[in-house]
Each structure stands twice: as C-alpha cells, then as structure tokens.
C-alpha cells in the first residue's frame, strides 16, 4: 500500500469512528464518576499504592474539576451547572484504608467523595469477610474494614457514605427476593447507625450481568435516590434522567505517564464509545467475553 492509500485509509477509519460515535453516543456529556477501591491496603487485595493514588488525584485537581457529593446531587437536576471536566470520586468496599490513607489525602487536597460500604463487612460478618478473602485470594486477616464510627466521621466531614449491599454479592445473579433483602437490610443497618442510605453502588456493577432493570426497580422501591453502575464511559445528560443507574469508570492502577494519559482519556471521553458498546452488548455475550464478571464467588 503506497502513502496515498495509507492516508486515505486512515482518514476513512477516523470518519468511520466519528460516524459510529454520533450514532451510539448521546449528546451533552456532564461529568465523570471515578470508582476506586483499596488504597494502601494489602497487595493481596489489589490495593493501589498511596503515592500513585495521590498523584492521580493531584492530576485530577490540576486538569479537571472535582465536585462534591452535594454538587453532584445539584448537577443531577441542573446538568448545565456542571463545570467543564467535572469529576466525582467514589470509593467501594469500606476498607480500613479508606480512613487511614484515603480520607487524609482527600482532606489535604480539598476533595469530598462518596464511600460505599457493605454493611456485613463493617459488622465483621465472617461470611462476608471470607467472601472478600476468596474474591481477592487473600487471607481473611488481610480484609479489614472501617468502623461505623469511621463512617459517621466521614459524613460529618462532608463525604457521603452509601450502601454497597450487605454481603457484596452480584445482585443480578441472586433471586429477586434475595436482592431485595440485600438492599433493605443494608438500608436498615445504616439507619440504625445514624446514616441515611440515599446513595448505592451495585456490587461489581456491570449492567445486564450484575445489575438489571429489576435490580434498579428494587433499589427505587427501597428508597435509594442515587445508584451507580460500572461503565467505561462518562455520565451524559440523558443518564441523569436515570439517577439509579449512573455510570462510573475505574481508574488505572499506577501513576506513571501512561496512567495519567489513561485518566485523561477517561475524563475526556475517549473511552466512551467502547463503554457504550459494552453496555449495549447482550448480557450473555458480556458474560462469555468477560470471565472476570462470572466469578461464582460473586453470587455464593
């Protein structure tokens, strides 16, 4: 292929991508919701090291516009109020490092976020602790959680503490009555500890695999106001009409230049087309092409 043909082929490919993007992607991106897990905890549970985490957040404060949970709630009803490159940071699983490592860094950088806790883990339920240990291939002694006092302190500091179910099972992979118990019992337990359960993050969070339309209906029935799934894309204005299925992205697990570029790509929407395509795949195809989301430990 000569140079002229190569140029023509490249231009044709770019045009094709743009055309597909216009068809698949909605208009008006509003913000990016980033989902972290363990930071500074045991390497056995896949923790991001604190230096990398700090560098990522510093990069976000320099190149994007972190918003608080309260600002996010306002943006849901007033999308035009979102600053350019708005970002909300969230943290799943309620590990102890959320208090020991994450919260001090957030305080230092002036960032407020949302922490989603499996209530069974905070209650030291051995079944839940062992599930996390199996999930991460770690000894149960390495699975340590924040306390309820810690959770209340986060709320007092301006963060949100939301539900991550009771046992951290994939809700769509268990019967409907079991899903409802997970959502209701988690909300009841949080209220008993003085925390209003308005926010929810579905465990694992893949639409069609871990959360279905029925799951969203149950979340609404229990009274959650905002709930988060896992997509590889930003939040668009149309998503805010479905505040119980808000997309989140998972950040890279390093702090080098490549990781910063990936973080930029996520916030800029360069992964949106892939994320939207994954979202529209039939659930059966997603399960066959994504073994990580068919782990039996998610539903046992």
Alpha helix (H) residue ranges in the chain: 3-24, 50-63, 69-77, 97, 103-109, 119-122, 126-136, 148-156, 176-192, 213-222, 257-268, 272-280, 283-289
In CATH, the number for domain 30-298 is 3.20.20.370
Q: Which range has highest mean pLDDT (4-13, 149-158, 291-300)?
A: 149-158
Q: List the domain boundaries for the chain.
A: 30-298
pLDDT in tens, 193-233: 999 999 999 999 999 999 999 999 999 999 999 999 998 89
pLDDT digits (tens, 9 = 90+) for 123-154: 999 999 999 999 888 899 999 999 999 999 99
pLDDT of residue 294: 45
Q: Select the more confidently predicted residue: 204 or 21.
A: 204
- The H or E element containing residue 116 is strand 114-117
pTM of the model as a whole: 0.86
Angle subtended by helix axes 50-63 and 257-268, to nearest 10: 50
């Amino acid at each position: 292929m000569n140079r002229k043909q190569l140029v023509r082929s490249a231009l044709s490919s770019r045009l094709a991508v743009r055309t597909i993007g216009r068809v698949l992607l909605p208009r008006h991106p509003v913000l990016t919701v980033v989902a972290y897990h363990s930071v500074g905890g045991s390497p056995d549970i896949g923790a991001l090291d604190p230096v990398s985490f700090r560098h990522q957040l510093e990069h976000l404060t320099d190149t994007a516009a972190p918003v608080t949970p309260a600002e996010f709630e306002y943006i849901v009803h007033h999308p035009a109020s979102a600053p350019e490159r708005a970002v909300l940071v969230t943290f799943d699983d309620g590990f102890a490092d959320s208090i020991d490592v994450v919260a001090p860094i957030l305080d230092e950088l002036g960032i407020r976020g949302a922490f989603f806790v499996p209530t069974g883990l905070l209650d030291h339920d051995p079944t839940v602790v062992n599930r996390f240990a199996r999930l991460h291939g770690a000894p149960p002694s390495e699975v340590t959680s924040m306390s309820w006092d810690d959770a209340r302190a986060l709320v007092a500091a301006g963060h949100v503490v939301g539900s991550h179910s009771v046992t951290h099972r994939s809700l769509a992979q268990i019967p409907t009555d079991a899903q409802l118990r997970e959502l209701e019992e988690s909300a009841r337990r949080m209220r008993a500890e003085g925390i209003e359960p308005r926010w929810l993050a579905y465990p694992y969070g893949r639409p069609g695999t871990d959360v279905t339309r029925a799951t969203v209906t149950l979340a609404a029935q229990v009274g959650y106001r905002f709930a988060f799934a896992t997509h590889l894309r930003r939040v668009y204005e149309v998503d805010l009409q479905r505040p119980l299925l808000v997309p989140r992205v998972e950040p890279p697990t390093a702090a080098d230049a490549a990781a910063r570029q990936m973080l930029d790509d996520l916030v800029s929407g360069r992964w949106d087309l892939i994320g939207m395509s994954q979202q529209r795949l039939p659930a059966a195809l997603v399960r066959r092409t994504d073994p990580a989301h068919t782990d039996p430990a998610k539903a046992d």
